[in-house]
Amino acid sequence: MTGIATRTCTHSNGWTHTGGEATCASCGVRRFTDYRAVRPPGLAQVVTAPRKATAVTDRAAAEWVMMRTRRRGWGPGG
């Protein structure tokens, strides 16, 4: 069984299932049985990095690779 119970519920019958939630008719405890019950409505906001930030990141990655390839070896002291 999944979900969050604010109180202890031992009732096994009389549960109402709607939209990812199960509600106990006897004591009113709600259990979330589906991920969609706790998910905010609508689609997630699209996050796009600014062009300048991606350029800085690309340059840093390129410098890291160049520093690595200048090495004579990959082992300790190499």
Instruction: Tell me the backbone φ, ψ of residue 64, rounded to 5 degrees.
Output: -65, -45
**By CB under 5 A, is residue 26 in contact with Zn ion?**
yes
Assess 24 for contact with Zn ion (CB under 5 A): yes
Binding mask 29-68 for Zn ion (x = CB under 5 A): x---------------------------------------
Pick from 27, 53, 55, 56 the residue near Zn ion by CB under 5 A: 27
What is the spatial distance between Cα 17 and Cα 28, in angstroms, rounded to a whole number? 12
Count the site residues for Zn ion by CB under 5 A.
Answer: 6
Q: Please name every residue paired with 46 in a beta bridge, in sequence order, or none if there are none.
A: none
54 CB-near residues (< 8 Å, 6+ apart): none
What are the tokens at 46?
């699209």
Residues in contact with Zn ion by the rule CB under 5 A: 9, 11, 24, 26-27, 29
